[in-house]
Amino acid sequence: MVFFDPHVHMTSRTTDDYQAMADAGIVALIEPAFWLGQPRTGVATFKDYFASLVGWERFRSSQFGIKHYCTIGLNSREANNEALAEQVMEILPLYVYKEGVVGVGEIGFDDQTPAEEKYYRAQLELAKEAGLPVQVHTPHRDKKQGTERSMAIALEHGLDPGMVIIDHNNEETVHSVLDQGFWAAFTIYPFTKMGNERMVEVVREYGPERIMVNSAADWGISDPLAVPKTAALMKMKGISDEAIRLVTYQNALDAFAQSGQITESDFEAVKNIDQSLKFNGNTILRGGQQPRIDKDSIFIR
């Protein structure tokens, strides 16, 4: 089986993770722009970050045979620094039209403040103008209310729910999200969001239509293999192969391919790995290293 992880923050992960993901069958991924764990102090670091998502990180991913896409946006937490948020809004159009940018994201609510709402609305307008899907981060606190509010605002701005991926769902939110025609993404994240046993039951209850699974692996305790592991568990629990394919591959592809930026044949093309390639003169290999080391060997040379 092959997998598509539509939400994973590879900037925070290691080459071991890339290797393990490729070995587990992940052929493509989407890296949403997000919060780096501490507040940024100026717009220049946003520029460098966005540039890395369409540059170095995409290259690094390609070195493991995984096709890398990204979404670009101002995350909800940093929307609360309005002086900086204004500057970030000004540079977003320079990045959302770049090749391989498959949406505006991840945007939405964290604390559900007025500033978060203001920049969420502004970015919905940007997505509409650019004809891109929207990847919506829903809050951890007051999730049900925050999710409803995110959807209501998207509809108010005239977005087609088929262009909006509501992320970080749980059993409490899924019914309404599907009912209103949005895509429902589920983050399998240890301890805080969804466990994958619960995910199996969601698919059993609601079926595979418009549902997708992601890892949202980042700098926290998370699992970049959450998508293939969930597929394995679904198989064990008797979910059909076709349903597994839809929620771990095809639905994410269909949702984000509406950007016009995803071509499935590119997943194959990137498999022709040449780890001696360079990006702006830099490679993933450090002095004298050989490409593709064998992790199962006890010898580390």
Residues found near Zn ion in the complex (CB under 5 A)? 34, 216
Looking up tokens 């969930």, which residue turns up?
230
Task: For residue 292, give the DSSP letter.
Answer: S
What's the min distance (Å) between Cβ of 106 and Zn ion? 5
What's the min distance (Å) between Cβ of 41 and Zn ion? 21
Kindly tell me which of 216 and 244 has the beta carbon lying closer to Zn ion: 216
**Contact (Cβ atoms closer than 8 angstroms) between residue 247 and residue 206:** no
37, with CB counted inside 10 A (0-12, 13-18, 19+), is exposed
What's the min distance (Å) between Cβ of 9 and Zn ion? 6
C-alpha torsion angle, residues 134, 137, 143, 149 (rounded to 10): -40
Burial 125-147 (b: 16+ CB within 10 A, else e): ebbbebebbbbbbbbeeebeebb
Phi, psi of 3, rounded to the nearest 5 degrees: -130, 155
Kindly tell me which of 36 and 293 has the beta carbon lying closer to Zn ion: 36
Q: Which amino acid is at 43?
A: V
Kindly tell me which of 136 and 244 has the beta carbon lying closer to Zn ion: 136
Query: Is 116 strand, coil or helix?
Result: helix
What's the min distance (Å) between Cβ of 136 and Zn ion? 11
What's the min distance (Å) between Cβ of 242 and Zn ion? 28
Measure the CA–CA gap between 202 and 196, rounded to whole angstroms: 10
Kindly tell me which of 34 and 267 has the beta carbon lying closer to Zn ion: 34
**Contact (Cβ atoms closer than 8 angstroms) between residue 33 and residue 53:** yes
What's the min distance (Å) between Cβ of 13 and Zn ion? 12
Kindly tell me which of 192 and 290 has the beta carbon lying closer to Zn ion: 192
Strand 26-32 relative to strand 67-72: parallel, antiparallel, unpaired?
parallel
What's the min distance (Å) between Cβ of 191 and Zn ion? 16
Kindly tell me which of 65 and 73 has the beta carbon lying closer to Zn ion: 73
What's the min distance (Å) between Cβ of 45 and Zn ion? 18
Kindly tell me which of 92 and 239 has the beta carbon lying closer to Zn ion: 92
Kindly tell me which of 216 and 227 has the beta carbon lying closer to Zn ion: 216
Task: For residue 106, give the DSSP letter.
Answer: E
Closest CA to 262 of 57, 80, 69: 69
**Contact (Cβ atoms closer than 8 angstroms) between residue 103 and residue 135:** yes
Query: Is 48 strand, coil or helix?
Result: helix
User: How many of the other CB atoms lie within 10 Å of CB of 90?
Assistant: 10
